[in-house]
């Protein structure tokens, strides 16, 4: 599992690494642009204004929403990622905090139309994923929705198949979503697959 120092060192090259994997349609970022585009369009179509991004990284997605007039709030634990994102979104409210320990207190003062977590929650254990998502549900406005775009699989069998295919590159420190194993915790949810190793989990 990468710590915040690891993410600080990775920040400058993060977008390039993601783009190469997505363009090559390989683990771990195959489907990345499709997922971000889908979330972006869903948010705009819903006329949502207050957006919270958990683990926003360099702000690739929320910067576009910020440019469309959305109020952007976010939490990340990398100083360098926050700096890069803040330069793109000077009027956003970006808070430093380790989301494995929960949502930052100052972000709990607001309710959100949409909460986004893209390629961030796979750093949490399955138990902590469920705990954090339930905390996020409590921060939604009426008719609000959570979009989790991440390395994710419908079943454990699909995950194991992908792991075998990319054995040399597989990150054993990351804990990927298996929708069949968490959906019982979230009755109002669905999983949409976008590549062999990624998709969007919607929770409302």
Planar angle of CA 199, 197, 66, nearest 5 degrees: 40
- Over the stretch 48-78, which tens digit does the pLDDT of each residue have? 999 999 999 989 899 999 999 999 999 999 9
- So what's the pLDDT on residue 21? 87
The per-residue pLDDT of the chain, averaged, comes to 92
Residue 71, helix vs strand vs coil: strand
Q: Where are the domains of the chain?
A: 4-203
CATH number among 3.40.50.150, 1.10.357.10, 3.40.50.720, 3.30.450.190, domain 4-203 = 3.40.50.150
Contacts for 116 with CB less than 8 Å, ≥ 6 apart: 39, 43, 51, 52, 53, 54, 56, 61, 62, 146, 147, 148, 149
Element (H, E) at 4: helix 4-10
3-state secondary structure of 116: strand
pTM of the model: 0.91
Per residue in 125-160, pLDDT tens?
Answer: 999 999 999 999 999 999 999 999 999 999 999 999
């Amino acid at each position: 599992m990468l710590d915040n120092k690891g993410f600080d060192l990775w920040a400058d090259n993060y977008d390039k690494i993601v783009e190469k994997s997505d363009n090559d349609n390989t683990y771990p970022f195959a489907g990345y642009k499709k997922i971000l585009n889908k979330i972006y369009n869903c948010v705009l179509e819903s006329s949502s204004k207050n957006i919270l991004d958990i683990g926003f990284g360099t702000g690739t997605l929320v910067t576009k929403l910020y440019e469309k007039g959305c109020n952007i709030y976010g939490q990340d634990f990398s100083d360098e990622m926050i700096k890069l994102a803040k330069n793109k979104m000077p009027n956003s409210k970006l808070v430093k905090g380790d989301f494995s320990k929960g949502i930052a207190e100052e972000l709990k003062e607001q309710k959100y139309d949409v909460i986004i977590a893209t390629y961030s929650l796979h750093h949490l254990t399955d138990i902590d994923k469920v705990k954090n998502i339930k905390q996020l549900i409590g921060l939604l406005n009426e008719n609000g929705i959570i979009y989790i775009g991440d390395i994710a699989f419908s079943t454990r069998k699909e995950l194991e198949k992908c792991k075998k295919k990319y054995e040399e590159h597989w990150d054993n420190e990351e804990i990927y979503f298996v929708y069949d194993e968490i959906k019982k915790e979230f009755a109002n949810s669905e999983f949409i697959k976008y590549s062999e190793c990624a998709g969007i989990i919607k929770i409302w």
